[in-house]
């Protein structure tokens, strides 16, 4: 009888030790997970530091859209960006041409407004000396923009190509949707913002990276 009691006592002590060990392991694991979570959180916050600061840019446009867009006629359209903030910034711009036509019933029809390919509807004189066509919808300015400075014009003229349009373009009107993004010049905020932190290996992104990387500043 006494032997059974000793066995039960031994088992109780063993179970207690195992439970205590489990608690210690659970605490250690939880602490480790907390440290990992804290590290990830700190890292994420650091990666997003480039978003902090007074980065303000103004789109400067000069365009008097015609009531009716005539083929083979050059129309003045200037697009530039001004740094109105307190920090230097790198700039990229999305400038999307839009051709629309009002139908007899009052509805608006959007027409193809291609600027590339073998039969472009529009010809735009993009300034590829100071800007790089990223072929992702954006044009990247080659130089950092200092406080109060403006970029050169992305383009100055636009024309509708007679040979590449059909009768449905008669009476069409032209407008532009312009979007500008300013990124801090600290290393390497533009890579984080535009390419998820990756270093480009192929053009045209490689050309953009080569143009900007030596203009960055330490954090």
pLDDT tens digits along 8-20? 444 454 444 444 4
Q: Is the pLDDT of residue 83 over 80?
A: yes
Q: Is the pLDDT of residue 42 over 50?
A: no
Q: Quick one: three-class SS letters along the chain? A: CHHHHHHHHHHHHHHHHHHHHHHHHHHHHHHHHHHHHHHHHHHHHHHHHHHCCCCCEEEEEEECCCCCCCCCCCEEEEEEEEECCCCCEEEEEEEEEEEEEECCCCCEEEECCCCCCCCCCEEECCCCCCEEECCCCEEEECCCECCCCECCCCCCEEEECHHHCCHHHCCCEEEEEEEEEEEECECCHHHHHHHCCCCCCCCCHHHHHHHHHHHCECC
Look up the pTM and report it: 0.73
- pLDDT for the residue 68: 82
- pLDDT for the residue 19: 47
- pLDDT for the residue 54: 54
- pLDDT for the residue 219: 74
């Amino acid at each position: 009888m006494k032997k059974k009691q000793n066995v039960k006592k031994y088992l109780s002590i063993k179970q207690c030790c195992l439970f205590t060990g489990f608690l210690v392991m659970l605490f250690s694991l939880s602490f480790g997970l907390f440290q990992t979570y804290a590290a990830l959180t700190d890292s994420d916050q650091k990666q997003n530091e480039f978003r902090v600061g007074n980065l303000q840019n103004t789109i400067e446009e000069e365009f008097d859209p015609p009531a009716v867009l005539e083929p083979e006629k050059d129309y003045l359209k200037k697009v530039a960006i001004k740094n109105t903030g307190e920090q230097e910034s790198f700039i990229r711009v999305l400038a999307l041409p839009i051709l629309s036509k009002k139908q007899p019933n009052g509805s608006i029809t959007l027409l193809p407004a291609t600027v590339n390919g073998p039969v472009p509807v529009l010809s735009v004189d993009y300034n590829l000396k100071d800007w790089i066509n990223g072929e992702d919808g954006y044009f990247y300015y080659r130089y950092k923009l200092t406080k109060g400075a403006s970029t050169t014009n992305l383009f100055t003229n636009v024309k509708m190509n007679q040979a590449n349009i059909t009768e449905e373009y008669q009476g069409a009107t032209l407008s532009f949707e312009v979007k500008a993004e300013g990124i801090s010049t600290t290393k390497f905020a533009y890579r984080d913002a535009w390419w998820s932190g990756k270093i480009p290996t192929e053009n045209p992104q490689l050309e953009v990276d080569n143009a900007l990387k030596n203009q960055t500043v330490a954090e």
